[in-house]
Amino acid sequence: MIQTISQLKNRRKKVIQILYRLFLLNENIDKIKQELLDGFQLETIDEELVDYIFEILNNTLDYKQLISNLLPELWNWNRLPKIIQSILVNGVFEIKKEITPKAVVINESIELTREYLPSFETSFINGLLDNIE
């Protein structure tokens, strides 16, 4: 299904919100998945979106490890704000799955960082995502 830019942005925001909840509340991935199936996390059930979110949830631990390995020496995963963790995991997923061109993913991730956490240094997001292969 071809999606508009607006639909892609909305999907990205929804994924980041779900990841944020996962990281903030340290919830079980299976619980989040069940809530999605029960309709608690989404206004309307969109099977394609649920499948997309399940795929990212299934790979979250791998993406966290990948991001952790790319962090500067004095940084660690837990030092990152939860919303930044969410934005980075989504960005890594999109880059690895080649869903969106890398430059677009980086730009969108920077925009989301400015929206959700304006004080965070966007060059950090840019540099980290640019190192994803």
Q: Alpha carbon of 101 to those of 25, 98, 126: distances in Å?
A: 31, 7, 14
CATH number of the structural domain spanning residue 104: 1.10.940.10
Q: How confident is the model at residue 99 (pLDDT cuts 50, 70, 90)?
A: confident
Backbone angle region of 26, left / alpha / beta, with phi > 0 → left and psi within -120 to 50 → alpha: left
Q: Hey, what amino acid is at 131?
A: N
Residue with tokens 């830019």: 5
Q: Identify the domain containing residue 15 by its residue range.
A: 5-131
pLDDT digits (tens, 9 = 90+) for 37-84: 777 655 666 778 888 899 999 999 999 999 999 998 888 999 999 999
pTM for the whole structure: 0.89
Q: How many domains does the chain have?
A: 1
